[in-house]
Structure 1
Amino acid sequence: MRSLRILATAIALATPLAHAAQVVVGQVGPMSGMEANQGRAYGAGMQLVFDSVNKAGGVNGHTFSLVRKDDGGRPEDTLSATRQLLAENKPLVLAGYFGNRNVGDLVQSGLLEKDRIPLVGYRTSELRYDNPWLFNVRAGLRDELNKLTEHLATIGITQLALFYEDGPGAPALIAAAEAAAAKAKATIIGKAGYAAGTAAATPAVDAFLKHKPQAILMVSSGAAAAGFIEQYRAAGGTAQLFAHSGADIEQLSKRLSEEQMQGVAIAQVTPSPYKISSRLAKEFADLTARTPNLEVPVSYAMMEGFITGKVIVEAVRRQGARPTREGIVGALESMDRLDLGGYMIGFKPGVRTGSRFVELSIISGSGKIRQ
């Protein structure tokens, strides 16, 4: 009898390991091109989490592998690379995608629904309505616009302009920006777009020099924001400049002088990766400090990838021995208030924007970031 009990215990202990698997996370993003630093940094942030979890023995016996493919920022390559990834690597979840058309075309292609696979964590500069297969770990664009316009209202700025990426989502973005401005008792007196996939800012610069707004809201890629700021400042533009979180502060600081950057404010949707302000930030700082030869420098994009990695690991943990693609969706929908260490994530059926966290970074005269 005792031997039977020992055997039953051994079987019970071995059962989770019998189903242990390598969880493949697939990222298709800009590893080259204008947004390469952000795409690579996002992946590096996820990798920090997966390496730490794997070193500790995994989750429910499962270990994690990140497979990355480069789309160079081109939407057609996003689709082809995703198809290849799904066929060859069989990922459990996708993560870390970039670009309005890239994500939009992926959704329109029906690949996510056909393969029953969620995309967790992505960056766009347009409003994206909730889709059952899309989950984001950052605040929505409306939250960012509201934060920016509320700040402007407190300093008495009411005449605004909007710089944005032109495309199918532009009308909804413009309407949201105008609504946020009206709420703050401000008016958007000038609007100018740039062609998707480019940094062609000259027409917008010319338009805003003519309109003379007090402040300009930039809802654009980092490359387009850098090009706009460079040309606008060189032409004598004096409006205050406020960017949404897609205008990567690290990319701007590499391209622009301290004088050009002075006073630029950027909405940030994650805690700062440069100071320990929470348990999450401390964990991130400790891991980056212990990681030799980081692929890219520490950045906000890396912090966002780090958050995405932690959310994916938690979704796998909640499924126990047999994680599946559809199980990821169910696990995410059960994350009502997940505390990652001072950064809250919450999803539920019909709600795919997981955070409301937004704060402003303002560049000082010495080129330093202050919150």
Structure 2
Amino acid sequence: MSSWIRWAGRAACVVAFVGAAVPALAQIKIGQTAGFSGPVAAGVKEVSDGAKLYLDAVNKAGGVAGQHIELIALDDKFDPALAAENAKKLIDQGVVALFLTRGTPHTQAVMPLLLQHHVPLIGPSTGAMALHNPVNPWLFNVRATYQREAERAVRHLSLIGMDRIALVQVDDSFGADAATGALAGFAGVGKQPVVHEKFDRTKPDMAPIIPKLVKSDAQAVLFIGSGNMVADGVKLLRSAGSRAQVVTLSNNASAGFVKSLGDNARGTVVSQVFPYERSLSAPIVKEALEYGKAAGIGEVTPAMLEGYAAAKVLVEGLRRAAPNITRERLRAALEGFKRVDLGGLELSYSPTDHSGLDYADLSIVGEDGRFKR
């Protein structure tokens, strides 16, 4: 055998050895359970698309400490029991954190697992007060509470001269929580709802409620429920001849909800928990729009902005926990947040405060089907 052949053979062995020794790019596994099908599917998709917009940009730039972020998403069909099952599966798969759960009872079903397995949940897409108080050491909110939204909505309606305001809520923990804020708003302006009705979450039926709203001659109706439920209620309300102002909360701040309203969309008031999604004066919006343009996305919706902000919190926590990222190190990193700038919005956490942001505003659906402020 010639010396050249012997050298080439040894070189090939070295190359093969080096190739085998170099590991594939490590992944940081993040788990998500949400209703990708069912009554909140449109909103869930938009929130998740917003998060993906930022996570993709981070991965394209090299990830966190040389590791790409892998988001593993499971569909819980907006079923609390399935949400808990999915969360357990994700935890068993070794996710560093759970992320962007959707729904109040659904997140509450997941919460016992956080303490049991010492895994953080970041940015649940719900503003339930039960997620803020008492503080769960493993749950980190990003957005404002439903109570704050509902109270502000009622106060606004009173301020513009509406005295006959009705309240219609889903009969679950989300509805009860948001209604608490609404009733605080009524008390603050010395009024009571002319009608206060509840409907079942699993089998929503607005038909018995609509005649009561019409009979009360309500000037405005605050609907608390998921997008499809509210859209059905508005359709029946309009069919019954009522022109009452329709108001709902930020869980319905999505283009999908507007589409579900159809011809009834124009003039609907929807509360918002992030800056105006077309305002370039807000750095977080400008950044999201730039990433969206690069990704071929025409516009950013309010729901997408919520997911985008939650992803920024997640990534900042991972960066501070790096390079040896564990669930415990991530939790400690998040609790060390002091006035972290998300892009014109400052967020802080501490061992006694996991509330995140407190921003709340109102928008109205315009003739073009887009939110205006």
TM-score, structure 1 length as denominator? Answer: 0.86
Change (3 A) 1:173 1:281: closer
Equivalent residue letter for 2:67: H
Question: Unmatched 5+ residue regions in structure 1?
Answer: 1-16
Q: Residues of 1 paired with 2:372 and 2:45: CA distance?
A: 25
Question: Unmatched 5+ residue regions in structure 2?
Answer: 1-21
The yes-or-no answer on 1:316 pairing with 2:321 is no
Q: Quick check: 1:73–1:197 contact (8 Å CA) kept in 2?
A: no
Change (3 A) 1:249 1:46: closer
* 1:172-321 superposed matches below 5 A: 172-258=177-263, 260-292=264-296, 298-321=300-323
Q: Shift in Å at residue 365 of structure 1? A: 4.5
Q: Residues of 2 paired with 1:277 and 1:360: CA distance?
A: 18
Equivalent residue letter for 1:346: S
How many pairs does the alignment contain? Answer: 348
1:361 paired residue number: 363
* 1:41-190 superposed matches below 5 A: 41-88=46-93, 90-107=94-111, 110-124=112-126, 126-128=128-130, 129=133, 130-168=135-173, 170-190=175-195
Q: Shift in Å at residue 192 of structure 1? A: 1.2
Change (3 A) 1:241 1:56: same
Equivalent residue letter for 2:43: Q
Deviation readout 1:114-141 (Å, 9 max, x if unpaired): 1101111123374323322222211111
Change (3 A) 1:204 1:346: farther
Q: Quick check: 2:103–2:174 contact (8 Å CA) kept in 1?
A: no
Change (3 A) 1:60 1:361: same
Equivalent residue letter for 1:343: L
Change (3 A) 1:238 1:26: same
Change (3 A) 1:368 1:315: closer
Q: Quick check: 1:267–1:361 contact (8 Å CA) kept in 2?
A: yes
Q: Residues of 1 paired with 2:181 and 2:370: CA distance?
A: 31
Q: Counterpart of 2:344 in 1: which secondary structure?
A: coil
Change (3 A) 1:241 1:279: same
Q: Residues of 1 paired with 2:136 and 2:208: CA distance?
A: 34
Q: Residues of 2 paired with 1:284 and 1:297: CA distance?
A: 9
Change (3 A) 1:266 1:168: closer
1:329 paired residue number: 331
Q: Percent of counterpart pairs with the same letter?
A: 29
Q: Shift in Å at residue 322 of structure 1? A: 1.5
Equivalent residue letter for 2:90: L
Q: Residues of 2 paired with 1:131 and 1:159: CA distance?
A: 38
C-alpha RMSD over aligned residues: 2.3
Equivalent residue letter for 2:334: L
Equivalent residue letter for 1:316: L
Q: Counterpart of 2:123 in 1: which secondary structure?
A: strand
Q: Counterpart of 2:235 in 1: which secondary structure?
A: helix
Q: Quick check: 1:94–1:117 contact (8 Å CA) kept in 2?
A: yes
Q: Quick check: 2:253–2:272 contact (8 Å CA) kept in 1?
A: no
Q: Residues of 2 paired with 1:150 and 1:51: CA distance?
A: 40
2:11 paired residue number: none
Q: Residues of 1 paired with 2:87 and 2:61: CA distance?
A: 30
Deviation readout 1:260-292 (Å, 9 max, x if unpaired): 223211101122334423111111011111114
Equivalent residue letter for 1:134: L
Q: Counterpart of 1:257 in 2: which secondary structure?
A: helix
Q: Counterpart of 1:67 in 2: which secondary structure?
A: strand
Q: Shift in Å at residue 25 of structure 1? A: 1.1
TM-score, structure 2 length as denominator? Answer: 0.86
Q: Counterpart of 1:137 in 2: which secondary structure?
A: coil
Q: Shift in Å at residue 312 of structure 1? A: 0.5
Q: Counterpart of 2:195 in 1: which secondary structure?
A: strand
Q: Counterpart of 1:122 in 2: which secondary structure?
A: coil
Change (3 A) 1:41 1:365: closer
